[in-house]
Structure 1
Amino acid sequence: MDETSVQLLCPECTKDWQQAPTDLPAPADLFHCPNCHASRRTAEFTRTDRDLQTLKTLG
């Protein structure tokens, strides 16, 4: 079985990575970029609308 992942992109340093939605805070909660430590809502790090929907559904 494939694990679902969410594609993330930091709006400040443009680091991109994937992470399991269950390992992320809720879309409206504060999240910190592991590269530059920028702090924003988790939803602002999702790369696409589909990633945001996956986070909302499975997170």
Structure 2
Amino acid sequence: MDEAAVQLLCPECAKHWRSTPRELPAQGSVFHCPNCHASYRIAEFMRTDRDLSTLKQLQ
């Protein structure tokens, strides 16, 4: 079975990547962009509302 992935987009440097919810911190936690190291709540990195919904459902 394929694991779901969410799309992330850094609000500062616009880096775009995909990750599985398992690889991300809990919803509401601070996350750091692997490219520019900007720090925001993980929800701020979700590219779409659907990605945020997927993160909430699978964590």
- Which TM class, normalised by the smaller chain length? over 0.9
If the length of structure 1 is used for normalisation, what is the TM-score? 0.95
Greater alpha carbon shift after TM alignment, 22-31 vs 12-21: 22-31
Q: What's the RMSD between the two structures over aligned residues?
A: 0.7
Residue 10 (structure 2) aligns with: 10
CA deviation vs aligned residue, 1:5-48 (integer Å, no higher than 9, x gap): 01000000000000000111122100000000000000000000
The alignment covers a number of residue pairs equal to 59
Per-residue deviation at 1:2? Answer: 1.4
Q: Which runs of 5+ in 1 are unaligned?
A: none
Structure 2: gaps spanning 5 or more residues: none
